[in-house]
Amino acid sequence: MLDKYLDVKKENKAHKYMSRILICIIILLLSLIGTSLSSKVKNFYKEYIFDDSFEFMKFKNFFSKISGTEKEEEKENTSLVMSSFISYESKEKYLNGERYEGVKENFINALVGGIVTFVGDKDEYSKTIIIQGSNGYDIWYFLLDDVDVNIYDYVKADTIIGSINNEFGLLISKDGKYYTYEEYLNAL
């Protein structure tokens, strides 16, 4: 009886993965057919996907709705508090974000799970990582010494993403509005 249960469970898991693959193929084929037949569709793709910043988390959430999610993905911890990982002596406003000084730790953790959309130097922000969070917020970690993630990586909350030395910066934005860390926590 246990063997039958395990076989059914394996078939269900295989069925889920096959349905996800088929959905991806259907979306790809519809996109290719649409861009080859209609100039409106081609212009839409050019304007909103190639020229604009593509929002990976919206697509991931949409895809999860139509293909189903597994139990482990639904339990992702997205509400960890930075103060439990980082202690600092002072903070001050820095451009559109905040700069934390007197940091005793030498690493920085991701506040929320999401897709890494930028890694590199950004003007006055210096070494920067931008994560498009699964909750819709873009979180910038800047003034970093070293980076431990690559662009388009998916990181979970609490993952070490970079190293710091005595200071780091944090910028949180959503829909063109900037939030302090406290405002961000209150908005969740």
CB–CB of 152/116 below 8 Å? Answer: yes
118 Cβ contact list (under 8 Å, min separation 6): 128, 129, 130, 151
| pLDDT for the residue 38 | 87
| pLDDT for the residue 1 | 46
**Same domain membership, residue 181 and residue 165:** yes
Supply the Cα-derived Rg of the chain in whole angstroms. 20
Q: Which residues of the chain have pLDDT under 70?
A: 1-12, 49-60, 63, 66-86
Question: Taken in order 103, 90, 180, 120, is the CA torsion positive or negative?
Answer: negative
**Same domain membership, residue 120 and residue 143:** yes
**Same domain membership, residue 110 and residue 91:** yes
**Same domain membership, residue 44 and residue 62:** yes
**Same domain membership, residue 119 and residue 33:** no
**Same domain membership, residue 159 and residue 91:** yes
Tell me the whole-structure pTM to 2 decimals.
0.59
Domain range for 140 is: 82-187
Question: What CATH number corresponds to the domain at position 156?
Answer: 2.70.70.10
Q: Is 154 exposed, middle or buried (0-12, 13-18, 19+ CB in 10 A)?
A: middle
| pLDDT for the residue 34 | 86
| pLDDT for the residue 53 | 58
| SS3 category, 133 | strand
Count up the domains in the chain and report the number: 2
